[in-house]
Copies of this chain bind each other. A is one copy, B any other.
Amino acid sequence: MTTTPDGGTAVPADALAGGTTGPDALAPLLHTVLDALAKGAVDRAGPLPDGGPTGTARDIAHALRHPAPPTAPVTPPRPDLLRPRGTGPTEALHTLTRALARGAADPADPACAAHLHCPPLAVAAAADLAAAALNPSLDSWDQAPSATALEEAVITAFATLVGYDPAHAAGAVTSGGTESNLTALLLARDTALRAHAQQATPTHDPTDGIPPHWAGRLRVFCSTEAHFSIARSAGILGIGAGRTTTVPTDDRHRMDPAALDAALAAATRDGNLPVAVVATAGTTDTGSIDPLEPIAAVCRRHRVHLHVDASYGTGALFTPRLRPLLDGLPEADTIALDTHKLGWQPVASGILLARHADTFHPLAQRAAYLNPDDDEAAGYPSLLGRSLRTTRRADAFKIAVTLRALGTDGLGDLVERCHRLAHHAARRIDAHPRLELHAPPVLTTVVFRYLPPPGTPASATPTPPADPDRINARLRRRLLETGRAVIGRTTVRPATGPGTPPGTVRLKLTLLNPHTTPDDLDQLLSLVVTEGDALSTSHTPGDHPVPPRRPRCEEP
C-alpha cells in the first residue's frame, strides 16, 4: 500500500480481500464505504429519494458519468461503466456508495414500511463481510470447510426450532422464499411421479421428464392468498402455472381445510395427480396463517406432500406468544423459512427444511470435480444435493452470528416489538374517520385504506365522486415521488359491507423495524390522511406541485 498526497492510504486496485493481508486492504476501503453511507443518508434525508424513478435514474447516470474520463470520447460511445482506465477503489467506492445510499429506500427509516423488506442488523451486515472476504462456496467441502459445518449447524438449529427431529431432517440456505418454494415443489413433483410411475409408462425413467400420461394432470393446491411464487414455480417445473388449484379462504384469509379436502378428492376423481399442498404461515398481504393442523390431517388422508411457506411466519418461532399460531408445523414434509424478513438479515437468507433427508433425493447429484464417490467414502461431505444452485454463498454465516449474538429471546423481543407496533397502527386506523382497517394484524402487517370524504369539495366546478382506488394508488405514489414515505399497496377482494365504498386497492404497512416508535406510526398515518385529503379536494388529483426536497443533479 502506498500513501496518497493527502496522507491517506491508497489500496491497490487489485488488492484481495482474503489471506493474511486482506484485512489491512479492507480497513481503509470500509472506512470509505461507511463515510459514503453516512453522507448518502444525509443527502437523502428521509426514507427514499425524492423525484421518483426519473430523478433517481438521473442521479445514478450523473454519478456514473462524472468525473469524465481523461481520455477522448470514443465512437460509438461506450457505457460509462466500460471506461478502459479505472478511477481506483477509493473514488469508485465513495462515488457509487454515496449514490446508492442517496437513492435507497432505506428500511431503517421508520417511514419505509411497505414490504417484507427488513432493516438488517448491524451485526448481521458485519458478519456478511466475512463471508464476502473469504468467499466460501457450499457446493464442495474443499471450497468451504468451516462454512459447510456452520451451515449444518444453522440447519440443525432451525430444524429443532420448527419441531423436526434434527437427526432425520435436512435442509439448506436458499436465496429466499421463492427458491425454497420452487425447490420444495420440485422435490414433491419428483416424489409423486416416482410413486405413480406405474400409472405412466411402465418403463418410465425418472430422467425422462414429466411422462405424457401425467402431462397436464399434475396439480398443486394452495389458498387464494398464497404467494405468487407457488403458481410461478408450477410453471417453471412444467406442471403449468394454471394447474395450481386455489382453495377458498375464510373471512380471516386462511385456507379452508374442508374446501381443500373436497378439492383433493375432486382432483383424484378426475384422474389428476396431486403433487403438493402449500399452506402459508404468514401471507404477504395480511400475515394470515393457514390452520396447519387440520390441513396436515387432510394431507395425510390424501397422502399428499405438505409444504408450508413460513417465510414471513419464521418470526413467530422465536416468541412463545406467537408460537401457537404455528401449531402443526412439524407435520409438514417441507418448510420454507426466511430470516431476511422477521430475522433482520441482509438478503439473501432463506432456509428450506425437509422433515426427512430422503426428501432431497431428486436433487442428488454426482459431479466428478465436486463430490467424486471415493472422496465421499473418505468422509468429505457434500451439500451439492441440497440446492438448485452450484456455487452458493455462505449466507448461513450471518444467520449463525445473529443467533449467537441475540439469542432466541433477543430475536423474540424484536418480533414482539414489531407485533405491538402493528396493533398500535391498527388501533389508530380503526379510530380514524378517514381510514378503514381491512383486517386485524396477525403478525406485523396492517392493511387499510384512505376513505375520501363523502361530500363534494367546495369548488366552483362540479367534480366526479372521488374514486377510492384511484386516490389510494395516487396518494401512495405521491408519497414515493416526494420521498416522504414508502408504504405498500395491494389488491383485495371487492368490499361488500353495508356503507363500505367500493374498491379493491388497499394500503399496507409492513412493520419490520423494531426501532420504529408509536409516534413514528402516528406521523406516517397523518401523512397518508393529509395526502389523501389533498387529492380528494384537488381538481386534478396528483397535480399540486411539491417542491423538490433537495437540489437535483443536473446534466452538464
Q: How many angstroms between the C-alpha atoms of A480 and B59 in the bound complex?
A: 49
Q: Which residues of B lie under 8 Å from residue A491 when comparing CB positions? A: 368-369, 372
Of the candidates B14, B64, B157, B486, which one forms a contact with A153 in the assembled complex, judged by CB atoms under 8 Å apart?
B64
Q: How many angstroms between the C-alpha atoms of A240 and B214 in the bound complex?
A: 14
Q: How many copies does the complex hold?
A: 2
Mask for A133-147, Cβ within 8 A of B = 1, else 0?
Answer: 111110011111111
Q: At the interface with chain B, which of A49-57, A245-253, A543-551? A: A49-57
- Given known A-B contacts A93-B123, A153-B64, A146 and B100 have beta carbons under 8 A apart: yes
Q: Is A125 an interface residue (CB 8 A)?
A: yes
Q: Is A435 an interface residue (CB 8 A)?
A: no
Q: Is A41 an interface residue (CB 8 A)?
A: yes
Q: Which residue on B lies nearest to A118, using beta carbons?
A: B135
Cross-chain contact A209 with B236 (CB below 8 angstroms): no
Cross-chain contact A37 with B13 (CB below 8 angstroms): no
- Given known A-B contacts A135-B118, A209-B216, A79 and B29 have beta carbons under 8 A apart: no
Q: Is A531 an interface residue (CB 8 A)?
A: no
- Given known A-B contacts A27-B34, A234-B209, A86 and B404 have beta carbons under 8 A apart: yes
Cross-chain contact B102 with A14 (CB below 8 angstroms): no
Q: Which residue on B lies nearest to A83, using beta carbons?
A: B407
Cross-chain contact A105 with B177 (CB below 8 angstroms): no
Q: Which residues of B lie under 8 Å from residue A452 when comparing CB positions? A: none
Q: Which residues of B lie under 8 Å from residue A389 when comparing CB positions? A: 175-176, 178-179
Cross-chain contact B186 with A236 (CB below 8 angstroms): yes
Q: How many angstroms between the C-alpha atoms of A386 and B235 in the bound complex?
A: 15
- Given known A-B contacts A84-B408, A119-B19, A489-B368, A93 and B53 have beta carbons under 8 A apart: no
Cross-chain contact B375 with A17 (CB below 8 angstroms): no
Of the candidates B53, B186, B406, which one forms a contact with A381 in the assembled complex, judged by CB atoms under 8 Å apart?
B53
Q: How many angstroms between the C-alpha atoms of A15 and B143 in the bound complex?
A: 32
Cross-chain contact A409 with B140 (CB below 8 angstroms): no
Q: Which residue on B lies nearest to A470, using beta carbons?
A: B374
Cross-chain contact B85 with A409 (CB below 8 angstroms): yes
Cross-chain contact A238 with B238 (CB below 8 angstroms): yes
Q: Is A466 an interface residue (CB 8 A)?
A: no
Q: At the interface with chain B, which of A290-298, A391-399, A423-431, A519-527? A: A391-399
Q: Is A97 an interface residue (CB 8 A)?
A: yes
| Min distance, Cβ A423 to any Cβ of chain B, angstroms | 20
Q: Is A196 an interface residue (CB 8 A)?
A: no
Of the candidates B35, B86, B136, B240, which one forms a contact with A104 in the assembled complex, judged by CB atoms under 8 Å apart?
B136
Q: At the interface with chain B, which of A106-114, A254-262, A325-333, A453-461? A: A106-114
Q: Is A390 an interface residue (CB 8 A)?
A: yes
CB proximity to B under 8 Å, residues A109-130: 109, 114-130
Q: How many angstroms between the C-alpha atoms of A240 and B215 in the bound complex?
A: 13
Q: Which residues of B lie under 8 Å from residue A87 when comparing CB positions? A: 404-405, 407
- Given known A-B contacts A105-B144, A175-B175, A15 and B346 have beta carbons under 8 A apart: no
Cross-chain contact B41 with A20 (CB below 8 angstroms): yes
| Min distance, Cβ A322 to any Cβ of chain B, angstroms | 16
Q: Which residues of B lie under 8 Å from residue A18 when comparing CB positions? A: 41, 104, 106-109, 119-120
| Min distance, Cβ A476 to any Cβ of chain B, angstroms | 8
Q: Is A463 an interface residue (CB 8 A)?
A: no
- Given known A-B contacts A157-B79, A178-B390, A104 and B57 have beta carbons under 8 A apart: no
Cross-chain contact B41 with A19 (CB below 8 angstroms): yes
Of the candidates B11, B142, B228, B490, which one forms a contact with A114 in the assembled complex, judged by CB atoms under 8 Å apart?
B142
| Min distance, Cβ A550 to any Cβ of chain B, angstroms | 14
Cross-chain contact A229 with B390 (CB below 8 angstroms): yes
Of the candidates B37, B133, B207, which one forms a contact with A23 in the assembled complex, judged by CB atoms under 8 Å apart?
B37
Q: Which residues of B lie under 8 Å from residue A239 when comparing CB positions? A: 209, 238
Cross-chain contact A133 with B346 (CB below 8 angstroms): yes
Q: Which residues of B lie under 8 Å from residue A120 when comparing CB positions? A: 16-18, 132-133, 135
- Given known A-B contacts A13-B410, A146-B104, A207-B235, A131 and B346 have beta carbons under 8 A apart: yes
Q: Which residues of B lie under 8 Å from residue A340 when comparing CB positions? A: 135, 391
Of the candidates B36, B82, B153, B379, which one forms a contact with A160 in the assembled complex, judged by CB atoms under 8 Å apart?
B82
Cross-chain contact B107 with A135 (CB below 8 angstroms): yes
Q: Is A96 an interface residue (CB 8 A)?
A: yes
Cross-chain contact B33 with A86 (CB below 8 angstroms): no
Q: How many angstroms between the C-alpha atoms of A278 and B406 in the bound complex?
A: 47
Cross-chain contact A149 with B14 (CB below 8 angstroms): no
Q: Which residues of B lie under 8 Å from residue A236 when comparing CB positions? A: 186, 236-237, 388
Cross-chain contact A400 with B41 (CB below 8 angstroms): no
* Other A-B pairs beyond A17-B125, A125-B129, 17, CB < 8 Å: A15-B122, A17-B108, A30-B126, A81-B153, A81-B156, A83-B404, A86-B410, A100-B136, A117-B137, A124-B132, A133-B346, A209-B241, A209-B242, A210-B240, A227-B390, A236-B236, A238-B238
| 8 A-B contacts (beta carbon < 8 Å) | A14-B414, A23-B37, A59-B146, A86-B407, A87-B407, A209-B235, A284-B369, A380-B477
